[in-house]
Chain A
Amino acid sequence: MTPEVLAAVLARIPYVAHLGVHAELHGDEMTAVLPYSEHLIGNPMLPALHGGVIGGFMELTAVIQLSLQSGDGAPKPIDVTVEYLRSGRPRDTFARAEVKKVGRRIANVQVEAWQEARAKPIAALRGHFLLGAGT
């Protein structure tokens, strides 16, 4: 999938626009980007990004990565576990997904999200996704 095709696929998904996410594709490596926007703040006193935003962003990252690899039909989440490691500051957030196992129907994916340093993740997600859903 070329970066242009990926951008066109993402442009059709309203939730992608709701969060403001875009994807950077370099070869087979995809980095999802969540640019900071005021509407993503959950706790205005800290301030910190909403936990549901970070969780949703990482889930989206997993779905995009799986779509790049398998292609047929949108993968659907079965279960996800989100671990919050640091509070999400009001700045850009990045995420990368690693597909640990792809079976015929189910994939296991791990995602990490970070801000200023890749080695200091703000959150991690582990989850299972149903592939080729709708069949």
Chain B
Amino acid sequence: MSHTEPPPSSWTEQLRALAPAMMAASPYARALGAELGEVERGMALLRLPYQNAFIGDPSTGVIAGGVVTALLDQTCGYAVWSALDGFAPIATLDLRIDYMRPARPRESLQARAECYKLGRAIAFARGLAFETDPADPVAAAQGVFVLTDKKAGAELRRRSLPAVEGAGEGGGHEPLAR
């Protein structure tokens, strides 16, 4: 069975270049202050500098879970965008967050997410939030996203996501940290 690779797309490069403007255009992305650190096809990494405004527990300086939720939501969203061949609007349908431990006060957070399955209308993503070591995560996320403009979604959907090939065959539990 011959497997046709999509032509090498510059969309990943474009997304990397567009990200600052996309985040600047979104008021809450601006308030959150996360920056796109890395993007590859089907994978995104965001960095979130610590802000005192994020504190949920004033006795320890630990940030609120909602901040971690927002970071993981956004990172999963970028992972989905990076799996497409161009920009299409997406919306979060469902997001599950597991909080493994409190984030360390006054330290930046990172989140890394991958889009491990992309359908015509629905995309599945998962991610981890951590300070420096993905093997010692603060939280894990599993998200389902809707491509709200179905026509654009179908056109922009890639044929395959080589980075996570086999995900549909039970082999999809490769570690997020690579």
Interface residue ranges, A against B (CB under 8 Å): 12-15, 17-19, 38-45, 48-53, 55-57, 59-60, 63, 74, 76-84, 87
Instruction: Classify chain B: how many residues form its interface, as a range.
Output: 35 or more
- A74 CA to B94 CA, complexed, in Å: 26
Given contacts A52-B32, A52-B70, A84-B91, A43 and B54 within 8 Å (CB-CB): no
Determine whether B73 belongs to the interface, using a CB cutoff of 8 Å to chain A.
yes
- A63 CA to B65 CA, complexed, in Å: 10
Q: Report B-chain residues with C-beta under 8 Å of the C-beta of A84.
A: 91-95
- Determine whether the beta carbon of A76 is less than 8 Å from that of B26: no
**Of listed B26, B32, B95, residue having the most chain A CB within 10 A:** B95
Chain A nearest CB from B76 CB (Å) reads: 10
A-B contact count (CB 8 A): 129
Chain B nearest CB from A76 CB (Å) reads: 7
- Determine whether the beta carbon of A81 is less than 8 Å from that of B96: yes
Q: Report B-chain residues with C-beta under 8 Å of the C-beta of A14.
A: 52-56, 58
Chain A nearest CB from B109 CB (Å) reads: 13
- 11 pairs, CB–CB < 8 Å, chain A vs chain B: A15-B66, A19-B66, A41-B28, A42-B26, A50-B29, A51-B70, A51-B91, A56-B65, A59-B69, A76-B99, A80-B65
Which secondary structure dominates chain A's binding surface?
A: mixed
CB closest chain-B residue, reference A43: B26
Determine whether B97 belongs to the interface, using a CB cutoff of 8 Å to chain A.
yes
Given contacts A56-B67, A77-B99, A50 and B28 within 8 Å (CB-CB): yes
Instruction: Beyond A51-B73, A77-B65, list 12 extra A-B contacts (CB 8 Å).
Output: A18-B54, A42-B26, A50-B29, A51-B70, A52-B70, A52-B73, A55-B69, A77-B97, A80-B69, A82-B95, A84-B92, A84-B93
- Determine whether the beta carbon of B64 is less than 8 Å from that of A15: yes
Q: Report B-chain residues with C-beta under 8 Å of the C-beta of A18.
A: 31, 53-54
Q: Report B-chain residues with C-beta under 8 Å of the C-beta of A59.
A: 64-66, 69
**Can you list, as one digit per residue, whether each of B77-108 has a CB less than 8 Å from chain A (1) or not (0)?**
00000000000010111111111001000000
Chain A nearest CB from B52 CB (Å) reads: 6
Q: Report B-chain residues with C-beta under 8 Å of the C-beta of A44.
A: 25-27
- A14 CA to B60 CA, complexed, in Å: 12
- A43 CA to B95 CA, complexed, in Å: 17
Partner of B70, one of A53, A77, A81: A53
Q: Report A-chain residues with C-beta under 8 Å of the C-beta of B26.
A: 41-44, 50
Partner of B96, one of A12, A19, A39, A80: A80
